[in-house]
Amino acid sequence: MKQKRIKIIPFKTNDLKTFELCRKIRTNVFIVEQSVEEEEEFDAFEEESQHYLLMLDEFAIGTARWRATDKGVKLERFAILEEFRGNKYGEFLLKKVIEDAAQAGDYLYLHAQLKAVDFYARQGFMKIGPQFEECDIRHYKMELTINR
């Protein structure tokens, strides 16, 4: 059986073709599956964010982004298409995003959906603060401090 090739493509929104693949994944995962409003999903931070597209052979299967904030570096919009979940593809993507985002700051944080808290915890993120809701979905803030 042929080995699957994983490729992670960093990009900015001016790469319209790649951003459109990213938009399709986020639309499928967040808007269709999770009923997030399109205006909430695609926000004012798209252009300033560093985006990633996860490819499996020739298929776009996942995406994520990070951006610098006044609190630290925020990792966001992690999405893997449903049929590809549970195969560690998300770990590959998260590790690459952490590696790159750590160049922008020592304090990384994210808002983890309740069902993804364990996934992020396995990568070293710690829950901080109380549970909260964003887009009618329960979350915890999680942080990762980079030791240099």
| 1 within some domain | no
Model pTM score: 0.93
**CA dist., res. 20 & res. 26, Å (int):** 10
Q: Domain range spanning residue 108?
A: 6-145
**CA dist., res. 114 & res. 133, Å (int):** 10
Regions of the chain with pLDDT less than 70: 1-2, 148
- CATH code of residue 30: 3.40.630.30
Is residue 23 helix, strand or coil?
helix
Residue with tokens 């904030």: 69
**CA dist., res. 27 & res. 43, Å (int):** 13
pLDDT at 147: 72
Bridge-based pairing of strands 59-68 and 73-80 is antiparallel
pLDDT at 107: 94
